[in-house]
Structure 1
Amino acid sequence: MNEKIDFLTLAAQAKEAYTNVLTQQNNNHSVRMSVFSGQYPWHHHPDSDETFICLQGVLTLEFRDREPVILTPGQAYTVLKGTSHRSHGSGRTVNLSIGIEGRATVMEQRPLVD
């Protein structure tokens, strides 16, 4: 894909409670845009780091073994592969996530500590 993408226009078109769309692929990486409020379940990616870039709202990345990271528009953070995490949007949140295309996502059915 070699075209200009307006993420904020795409986000404005998202009407579902949770929207996650592939927006770009570059070599073996993908850029996905998520629009949501609320909390995504605990999970990890065993084979890929995942970089989050906050575009709108406040995105909190929670971890089992350390303090959360809070992102506001224009901020980014990389979750290293294998790290258990979940994301939480305070109100409507728009963010990009970048990682290896086709990366495995292991959903963690029961919280270890919550």
Structure 2
Amino acid sequence: MHTAINLRERTANVQGFWNPEHLLTLDQSHSLKIANIKGGFIWHSHPNTDEMFYCVSGGPLRMELCTTAKTPEDAEKTGADEVVVLNLGDVFSVPMGMQHRPVAENETGILMIEKVGTVNTGDREGDERTVYVDEKA
């Protein structure tokens, strides 16, 4: 049976912060994931994929970008040289390979679209915040 997914209801049921859950897969190549976030995440990039963010609830979400850094360690030293603010209903795509750090002062529900197999910590896979999501569910 085919049914619609209500993003606000689904994000409201996600347990904890920075704990992405799989929604569905498109063309066996891209995964749609939801999460609730609050506070700041770690600097990281995704060398093999763009990453799209949609602000589903709460907000704002600040996407800190370090356009000159090649590594997360460089981004930590340099800090953000650009910030994109996503309010409720806004969407933004982080370009492949760009060091970024999502930050939300208030609880914020997000939808992410990225290639199947992409982990939330990107080039920092194995960090204590890495979450491996079952994308077959």
- Please give the range of the TM-score, normalised by the shorter of the 2 chains: 0.7 to 0.9
Structure 1: segments with no counterpart, 5+ residues: 110-114
Aligned residue pairs, count: 109
Instruction: Tell me the distance in 2 between the aligned counterparts of 1:50 and 1:11.
Output: 18
Amino acid at match of 1:32: K
Cα 1:45–1:10 change in 2 (3 A) is same
**1:106 and 2:108 correspond:** no
Which structure features the higher share of helix residues? 2
Instruction: Summarize deviations over 1:62-91 as a string: whole Å, max 9, x none.
Output: 012331000001111111110000101121
Instruction: Tell me the distance in 1 between the aligned counterparts of 2:5 and 2:92.
Output: 22
- What does residue 112 of structure 1 align with? none
Equivalences for 1:1-114 in 2 at 5 Å? 2-27=2-27, 28-56=29-57, 57-65=59-67, 66-103=81-118, 105-107=122-124
What TM-score does the superposition give when structure 1 sets the normalisation length?
A: 0.85
Which structure features the higher share of strand residues? 1
What TM-score does the superposition give when structure 2 sets the normalisation length?
A: 0.72
Instruction: Tell me the distance in 1 between the aligned counterparts of 2:22 and 2:104.
Output: 19
Instruction: Tell me the distance in 2 between the aligned counterparts of 1:82 and 1:17.
Output: 24
RMSD, aligned α-carbons: 2.0
User: SS where residue 106 of structure 1 aligns?
Assistant: helix
User: SS where residue 11 of structure 2 aligns?
Assistant: helix
Runs of 4+ in 1 over 3 A off after TM superposition: none
Instruction: Tell me the distance in 1 between the aligned counterparts of 2:96 and 2:117.
Output: 14
Cα 1:2–1:87 change in 2 (3 A) is farther
Instruction: Tell me the distance in 2 between the aligned counterparts of 1:34 and 1:101.
Output: 16
Q: How far apart are residue 2 of structure 1 and its match?
A: 4.9
